[in-house]
Structure 1
Amino acid sequence: MSVRCDGGLIRLEGPCPVEEAETLAALLLAHPGAGVEWSGCTGMHTALVQVLLRLRPPLHGSCGDPFAARWLAPLLAPSDDG
């Protein structure tokens, strides 16, 4: 499985296809405040990107998907105005 809950972290591992978006959203909603460890993610479907942008969980590590690491990580970084 590419999306799984491991204690207080939700891990994204390997390729994360569209089918995993619902699982990711359900886990984030069931575990408020849970972080997402995405270092092991090698590919992320845009549906998962939308879940992350909407729910804005704390992210741990650097995303293994080069596109997400370059373009998504800065959008999800904690803001300095909060």
Structure 2
Amino acid sequence: MIQNQDHVTVYFPSFHGQLALDITLPIAALAGSLVVSIVGAVRIIQWRARAHSASKSLAKNVKRARRTSWWHRRRTTTSTVN
């Protein structure tokens, strides 16, 4: 950090000024990691929502298939008895 004592001009939407480079670099790294973490969290939430809706749809289809197969078995057994 002693090597990076030069001042750099920083332009940000809510800030404009000069800071020492040894302060600016860690702030930029933290800001970048924060952005990546937020985007990753949003993406994980989207994946979980999609997986949840897919599992509900699958459960609904399985339930429908069980009802259909039960009805089919009932009809075939009653038709063979008569």
Specify the TM-score bucket, using the shorter chain as the normaliser: under 0.3
Q: How does the TM-score come out when normalised to structure 1?
A: 0.21
TM-score norm. by structure 2 comes to 0.21
Larger radius of gyration: 2
Structure with the higher fraction of residues in strand conformation: 1
Higher RCO, 1 vs 2 (CA within 8 Å, ≥6 residues apart): 1
